[in-house]
Amino acid sequence: MTAGSGDALIEVEGVKRIFGRGSGAVTVLHDVSLEIPAGKLIAFKGRSGSGKTTLMNLLSTLDRPTEGRVCFEGQDLTGLSDRERDEIRRTQMGLVFQSFALIPLMSAYENVEFVLRISGIPAREREAAAIAALDLVGLKPRMHHRPFELSGGEQQRTAIARAIAHKPKLILADEPTAELDSRTGLHIIKVFRDLVQQGLTVVITTHDPAIMEIVDHVYELEDGRIVANH
Ligand SMILES: Nc1ncnc2c1ncn2[C@@H]1O[C@H](COP(=O)(O)OP(=O)(O)OP(=O)(O)O)[C@@H](O)[C@H]1O
Ligand SMILES: [Mg+2]
Protein backbone atom coordinates (compact mmCIF):
# COMPACT_ATOMS: atom_id res chain seq x y z
CA MET A 1 0.00 0.00 0.00
CA THR A 2 1.31 3.44 -0.80
CA ALA A 3 0.20 6.69 0.74
CA GLY A 4 -2.61 8.37 -1.14
CA SER A 5 -3.89 5.27 -2.94
CA GLY A 6 -7.40 6.54 -2.30
CA ASP A 7 -9.10 3.71 -0.40
CA ALA A 8 -7.49 4.54 2.94
CA LEU A 9 -9.71 5.65 5.80
CA ILE A 10 -6.65 6.96 7.64
CA GLU A 11 -3.27 8.06 6.34
CA VAL A 12 -0.39 8.69 8.71
CA GLU A 13 2.48 10.57 7.09
CA GLY A 14 5.89 11.14 8.61
CA VAL A 15 4.59 11.25 12.17
CA LYS A 16 6.88 11.98 15.07
CA ARG A 17 5.74 12.23 18.69
CA ILE A 18 8.09 13.71 21.23
CA PHE A 19 7.07 13.98 24.89
CA GLY A 20 8.73 16.57 27.11
CA ARG A 21 11.28 19.21 26.19
CA GLY A 22 15.00 19.85 26.22
CA SER A 23 17.18 17.25 27.88
CA GLY A 24 14.08 15.43 29.18
CA ALA A 25 12.54 15.00 25.71
CA VAL A 26 11.66 11.44 24.68
CA THR A 27 10.92 10.54 21.07
CA VAL A 28 8.26 7.86 21.25
CA LEU A 29 7.35 7.70 17.54
CA HIS A 30 9.94 8.28 14.81
CA ASP A 31 8.79 9.02 11.28
CA VAL A 32 5.81 6.66 11.23
CA SER A 33 3.90 6.40 7.95
CA LEU A 34 1.09 3.95 7.35
CA GLU A 35 -2.40 3.55 5.94
CA ILE A 36 -5.52 2.11 7.47
CA PRO A 37 -7.58 0.82 4.54
CA ALA A 38 -11.37 1.16 4.87
CA GLY A 39 -13.33 -1.98 5.70
CA LYS A 40 -10.44 -3.99 7.16
CA LEU A 41 -9.37 -5.37 10.52
CA ILE A 42 -5.87 -4.08 11.28
CA ALA A 43 -3.59 -4.91 14.22
CA PHE A 44 -0.65 -3.05 15.77
CA LYS A 45 1.72 -5.34 17.56
CA GLY A 46 4.88 -4.67 19.49
CA ARG A 47 6.48 -4.95 22.91
CA SER A 48 5.34 -2.96 25.89
CA GLY A 49 6.58 0.60 25.39
CA SER A 50 6.95 0.30 21.60
CA GLY A 51 4.44 3.12 21.01
CA LYS A 52 1.14 1.37 20.23
CA THR A 53 -1.06 3.42 22.59
CA THR A 54 0.71 6.64 21.55
CA LEU A 55 -0.09 5.86 17.91
CA MET A 56 -3.72 4.97 18.75
CA ASN A 57 -4.11 8.32 20.54
CA LEU A 58 -3.00 10.11 17.37
CA LEU A 59 -5.46 8.17 15.20
CA SER A 60 -8.30 8.91 17.64
CA THR A 61 -7.62 12.70 17.65
CA LEU A 62 -7.00 12.62 21.40
CA ASP A 63 -3.38 13.65 20.80
CA ARG A 64 -1.52 15.56 18.09
CA PRO A 65 1.76 14.59 16.44
CA THR A 66 4.84 16.74 17.09
CA GLU A 67 5.57 16.49 13.35
CA GLY A 68 3.76 14.97 10.38
CA ARG A 69 0.09 14.52 9.55
CA VAL A 70 -2.82 12.23 10.29
CA CYS A 71 -5.62 12.31 7.71
CA PHE A 72 -9.10 10.84 8.26
CA GLU A 73 -11.11 10.40 5.04
CA GLY A 74 -8.61 12.65 3.30
CA GLN A 75 -9.00 15.45 5.85
CA ASP A 76 -5.91 16.54 7.76
CA LEU A 77 -6.86 16.17 11.44
CA THR A 78 -3.82 18.05 12.65
CA GLY A 79 -5.16 21.33 11.24
CA LEU A 80 -8.61 21.10 12.85
CA SER A 81 -9.77 22.85 16.01
CA ASP A 82 -10.34 20.87 19.21
CA ARG A 83 -14.08 21.20 18.71
CA GLU A 84 -13.91 19.80 15.16
CA ARG A 85 -11.75 16.94 16.36
CA ASP A 86 -14.19 16.17 19.21
CA GLU A 87 -17.06 16.09 16.74
CA ILE A 88 -15.30 13.61 14.44
CA ARG A 89 -14.34 11.43 17.40
CA ARG A 90 -17.85 11.42 18.93
CA THR A 91 -19.73 10.70 15.73
CA GLN A 92 -17.38 8.62 13.57
CA MET A 93 -15.18 6.74 16.01
CA GLY A 94 -15.59 4.23 18.82
CA LEU A 95 -12.72 3.95 21.27
CA VAL A 96 -11.81 1.11 23.60
CA PHE A 97 -9.14 2.24 26.05
CA GLN A 98 -6.53 -0.04 27.57
CA SER A 99 -7.84 1.05 30.99
CA PHE A 100 -11.56 0.64 29.93
CA ALA A 101 -12.45 4.09 31.38
CA LEU A 102 -15.97 3.08 32.43
CA ILE A 103 -18.02 5.46 34.54
CA PRO A 104 -18.11 3.82 38.00
CA LEU A 105 -21.55 5.00 39.12
CA MET A 106 -23.27 3.81 35.96
CA SER A 107 -24.31 0.25 35.16
CA ALA A 108 -22.92 -1.46 32.04
CA TYR A 109 -26.16 -0.53 30.23
CA GLU A 110 -25.98 3.11 31.35
CA ASN A 111 -22.32 3.35 30.29
CA VAL A 112 -23.31 2.27 26.77
CA GLU A 113 -26.46 4.39 26.64
CA PHE A 114 -24.52 7.45 27.76
CA VAL A 115 -22.14 7.26 24.81
CA LEU A 116 -25.10 6.90 22.43
CA ARG A 117 -26.51 10.07 23.95
CA ILE A 118 -23.32 12.10 23.47
CA SER A 119 -22.88 10.81 19.93
CA GLY A 120 -26.31 12.21 19.06
CA ILE A 121 -28.38 9.03 18.66
CA PRO A 122 -32.11 9.89 19.16
CA ALA A 123 -33.61 8.82 22.51
CA ARG A 124 -36.08 6.36 21.00
CA GLU A 125 -33.24 4.37 19.34
CA ARG A 126 -30.85 4.31 22.27
CA GLU A 127 -32.28 1.50 24.40
CA ALA A 128 -32.41 -1.04 21.56
CA ALA A 129 -28.95 -0.06 20.27
CA ALA A 130 -27.40 -0.32 23.74
CA ILE A 131 -28.96 -3.72 24.43
CA ALA A 132 -27.95 -5.02 20.99
CA ALA A 133 -24.32 -4.01 21.54
CA LEU A 134 -24.24 -5.58 25.02
CA ASP A 135 -25.80 -8.74 23.60
CA LEU A 136 -23.12 -8.93 20.86
CA VAL A 137 -20.36 -9.07 23.47
CA GLY A 138 -22.31 -11.55 25.62
CA LEU A 139 -23.05 -9.16 28.43
CA LYS A 140 -26.81 -8.74 28.28
CA PRO A 141 -27.44 -10.88 31.39
CA ARG A 142 -25.10 -8.64 33.45
CA MET A 143 -26.00 -5.29 31.94
CA HIS A 144 -27.56 -3.77 35.05
CA HIS A 145 -24.42 -4.25 37.12
CA ARG A 146 -21.93 -1.48 37.80
CA PRO A 147 -18.26 -1.85 36.85
CA PHE A 148 -17.15 -2.78 40.39
CA GLU A 149 -19.61 -5.68 40.32
CA LEU A 150 -18.18 -6.98 37.04
CA SER A 151 -15.04 -9.03 36.40
CA GLY A 152 -12.13 -7.47 34.46
CA GLY A 153 -13.22 -9.30 31.31
CA GLU A 154 -16.83 -8.17 31.73
CA GLN A 155 -15.67 -4.57 32.15
CA GLN A 156 -13.60 -4.95 29.02
CA ARG A 157 -16.61 -6.26 27.11
CA THR A 158 -18.70 -3.34 28.42
CA ALA A 159 -16.03 -0.99 27.06
CA ILE A 160 -16.26 -2.74 23.68
CA ALA A 161 -20.07 -2.58 23.65
CA ARG A 162 -19.81 1.14 24.37
CA ALA A 163 -17.43 1.64 21.43
CA ILE A 164 -19.53 -0.23 18.87
CA ALA A 165 -23.09 0.73 19.90
CA HIS A 166 -23.34 3.86 17.72
CA LYS A 167 -21.99 1.95 14.67
CA PRO A 168 -19.03 4.27 14.12
CA LYS A 169 -17.02 4.16 10.88
CA LEU A 170 -13.87 3.41 12.80
CA ILE A 171 -13.26 1.41 15.97
CA LEU A 172 -9.93 1.87 17.75
CA ALA A 173 -9.43 -0.77 20.43
CA ASP A 174 -6.30 -0.80 22.58
CA GLU A 175 -5.64 -4.37 23.81
CA PRO A 176 -9.36 -5.26 23.66
CA THR A 177 -8.73 -8.89 24.62
CA ALA A 178 -6.05 -8.46 27.29
CA GLU A 179 -8.38 -9.35 30.17
CA LEU A 180 -10.15 -12.16 28.37
CA ASP A 181 -9.52 -15.91 28.23
CA SER A 182 -8.64 -17.14 24.74
CA ARG A 183 -12.18 -18.31 23.92
CA THR A 184 -13.85 -15.06 24.94
CA GLY A 185 -11.04 -13.16 23.19
CA LEU A 186 -11.72 -14.97 19.94
CA HIS A 187 -15.44 -14.30 20.36
CA ILE A 188 -14.70 -10.56 20.59
CA ILE A 189 -12.49 -10.70 17.50
CA LYS A 190 -15.36 -12.42 15.68
CA VAL A 191 -17.64 -9.55 16.76
CA PHE A 192 -15.09 -7.16 15.20
CA ARG A 193 -14.92 -9.34 12.06
CA ASP A 194 -18.71 -9.15 11.70
CA LEU A 195 -18.56 -5.36 12.02
CA VAL A 196 -15.85 -5.27 9.33
CA GLN A 197 -18.12 -7.43 7.17
CA GLN A 198 -20.74 -4.67 7.57
CA GLY A 199 -18.22 -2.12 6.28
CA LEU A 200 -16.67 -0.78 9.50
CA THR A 201 -12.93 -0.41 9.93
CA VAL A 202 -11.33 -1.79 13.10
CA VAL A 203 -7.84 -1.16 14.48
CA ILE A 204 -6.67 -3.12 17.51
CA THR A 205 -3.44 -3.51 19.41
CA THR A 206 -2.62 -7.00 20.61
CA HIS A 207 0.10 -9.37 21.76
CA ASP A 208 -1.94 -12.47 21.07
CA PRO A 209 -0.53 -14.60 18.19
CA ALA A 210 -3.90 -16.36 17.70
CA ILE A 211 -5.54 -13.02 16.99
CA MET A 212 -2.77 -11.92 14.63
CA GLU A 213 -3.80 -14.85 12.39
CA ILE A 214 -7.36 -13.57 12.03
CA VAL A 215 -6.70 -9.94 11.14
CA ASP A 216 -6.27 -8.61 7.60
CA HIS A 217 -3.03 -6.75 8.19
CA VAL A 218 -0.42 -6.37 10.93
CA TYR A 219 1.87 -3.40 11.55
CA GLU A 220 4.71 -4.29 13.86
CA LEU A 221 6.25 -1.56 16.03
CA GLU A 222 9.64 -1.56 17.65
CA ASP A 223 10.95 1.41 19.63
CA GLY A 224 8.53 3.75 17.90
CA ARG A 225 9.16 2.59 14.34
CA ILE A 226 7.19 0.36 12.01
CA VAL A 227 9.59 -2.53 11.44
CA ALA A 228 7.32 -4.99 9.65
CA ASN A 229 4.10 -4.90 7.76
CA HIS A 230 2.30 -8.05 6.64
N1 LIG B 1 2.91 11.43 28.22
C2 LIG B 1 4.09 10.79 28.14
N3 LIG B 1 5.23 11.38 28.55
C4 LIG B 1 6.42 10.75 28.46
N5 LIG B 1 6.58 9.51 27.96
C6 LIG B 1 5.49 8.87 27.53
C7 LIG B 1 4.18 9.46 27.60
N8 LIG B 1 3.28 8.58 27.11
C9 LIG B 1 4.00 7.48 26.77
N10 LIG B 1 5.31 7.66 27.02
C11 LIG B 1 6.40 6.69 26.75
O12 LIG B 1 6.30 6.31 25.41
C13 LIG B 1 6.65 4.95 25.24
C14 LIG B 1 5.53 4.25 24.48
O15 LIG B 1 4.37 4.20 25.29
P16 LIG B 1 3.01 3.52 24.80
O17 LIG B 1 2.04 3.67 25.90
O18 LIG B 1 2.67 4.07 23.48
O19 LIG B 1 3.50 1.99 24.64
P20 LIG B 1 2.65 0.70 24.29
O21 LIG B 1 3.29 0.09 23.07
O22 LIG B 1 1.23 1.02 24.23
O23 LIG B 1 2.96 -0.26 25.54
P24 LIG B 1 1.98 -1.33 26.30
O25 LIG B 1 2.03 -2.60 25.47
O26 LIG B 1 2.66 -1.50 27.63
O27 LIG B 1 0.64 -0.74 26.44
C28 LIG B 1 6.88 4.40 26.63
O29 LIG B 1 8.27 4.33 26.84
C30 LIG B 1 6.22 5.40 27.52
O31 LIG B 1 6.87 5.49 28.77
MG1 LIG C 1 -0.40 0.48 25.36
Question: Could you report the per-residue pLDDT of 15-42, keeping only the tens digit for each?
Answer: 999 999 999 999 999 999 999 999 999 9
Distance (angstroms) between ligand 1 centre and the Cα of 53 equals: 7
106-128 pLDDT, tens digit per residue, is 999 999 999 999 999 999 999 99
CA 126 to mean position of chain CA atoms: 21
What's residue 6's pLDDT?
55
What value does the mean pLDDT take over residues 135-152?
96
Return residues with CB closer than 5 A to ligand 2 (ion): 52-53
What was the pLDDT predicted at 3? 43
Where residue 210 falls among pLDDT bands split at 50, 70, 90?
confident
Residue nearest atom 17 of ligand 1, based on CA coordinates = 53
Ligand 1 centroid, distance to 96 Cα (angstroms): 17
* pTM assigned to the model: 0.93
| Ligand 1 neighbourhood includes 28 CB (under 6 angstroms) | yes
Domains in the chain (CATH in brackets) are 8-229 (3.40.50.300)
- Quote the ligand 1 centre to 185 CA distance (angstroms): 24
DSSP per residue, the chain:
--TT-S-EEEEEEEEEEEES-GGG-EEEEEEEEEEEETT-EEEEE--TTSSHHHHHHHHTTSS--SEEEEEETTEEGGGS-HHHHHHHHHHHEEEE-TT----TTS-HHHHHHHHHHHTT--HHHHHHHHHHHHHHTT-GGGTTS-GGGS-HHHHHHHHHHHHHTT--SEEEEESTTTTS-HHHHHHHHHHHHHHHHTT-EEEEE---HHHHTTSSEEEEEETTEEEEE-
Q: Is the CB of 24 under 6 A from ligand 1?
A: no
